[in-house]
Amino acid sequence: MGEFGAVAGLDPRGRFVGMTQLPRLILSRDHLFHGTTLKELARSAKAGALHRVRQGVYVDGAAWDALKPWEQYRVRVNAAAETSSSRTIFARHSAASVWGIPTIGLHHPVQAVTLRNDGGRSRAGISRHYADPASLKVYRREGLLVTDRVRTVLDLAAFTPFVESIAPLDHVLKSDRKRGLPAIHERGTSGGSGWNLHGGGHPENPSGDRFRRSPVRICGGILQPRFDACRRIRGPSSST
């Protein structure tokens, strides 16, 4: 049986929503411990009493239905970790989910890195992307191996539509008090040195071409297009 922590995300209006405790994972390999059989687990899933997250992993059906989409995604990441036959370093949306970094959109695959430069691959329901070992920093967070926060948001900025990268970048520019995580400065670390969140420097793209092409600037603590005038996302500022 697997058990993991809490998760947070953005509601449909883009508002940050606090942490929710996730349901326990029921692993089919532990069916004897649960006093059941594989067929009974499958029948319970078909009847709706359980929800099949992935092959060999279930959760309580009612608990699953009560979860928000980003919480369901985190359960899928946890389930992938429980059933992976090799060491898995989660990245991009999956790492963001573990770090509590909000992301935009639904139906993201579970994502991880591979250290073999053969174009990446998908296996056992996990989409894998190459990462240069020399530039990779790995952390253990809530029992899972994940890319560090800077790498995570830079990956999202480099490999997702620009509008989807705003929320995660904005999140890490401020301290996460609930998790005790410091703000990341524009240079990419809490200490002010490292990769540049403002104008390029992705470890797999040192020239930062994607970032330079994006008309981005820091405006009042949030990354926005230059032509936005800092109003369309945050709304007009009030004078005090």
pLDDT in tens, the chain (240 residues): 444 455 555 554 444 455 578 999 999 999 998 899 999 999 999 999 999 999 999 999 999 999 999 999 999 999 999 999 888 999 999 999 999 999 998 889 999 999 888 766 777 789 999 999 998 999 999 999 999 999 999 999 999 998 898 999 999 999 999 889 999 876 555 544 344 565 455 556 544 444 443 434 433 433 433 333 333 333 333 333
Query: What CA–CA distance (Å, rounded) separates 60 from 2?
Result: 13
Tell me, what amino acid is at 131? A
* Per-residue CA distances from 162 to 3, 69, 104, 132, 191 (Å): 34, 21, 11, 23, 26
Q: What are phi and psi of 15, to 5 degrees?
A: -90, 140
How many residues are listed for the chain in this entry?
240
Q: Supply the pTM of this predicted model.
A: 0.73
Query: What CA–CA distance (Å, rounded) separates 130 from 227?
Result: 34
- Note every long-range contact of 190-199, with CB atoms under 8 Å and residues 24 or more positions apart, other chains counting: 194/150, 195/150, 195/151, 195/154, 197/150, 197/153, 197/154, 197/169, 197/172, 197/173, 197/223, 198/223
Q: Is 184 exposed, middle or buried (0-12, 13-18, 19+ CB in 10 A)?
A: buried
Q: Are 164 and 105 in contact (CB under 8 A)?
A: yes
Q: Are 141 and 123 in contact (CB under 8 A)?
A: no
The whole-angstrom distance between residue 7's C-alpha and the CA centroid of its chain comes to 10
pLDDT per position as a tens digit, 100-150: 999 998 889 999 999 888 766 777 789 999 999 998 999 999 999 999 999
Q: Are 90 and 147 in contact (CB under 8 A)?
A: yes
Nearest Cα neighbor of 83 from 124, 114, 120, 32 is 124
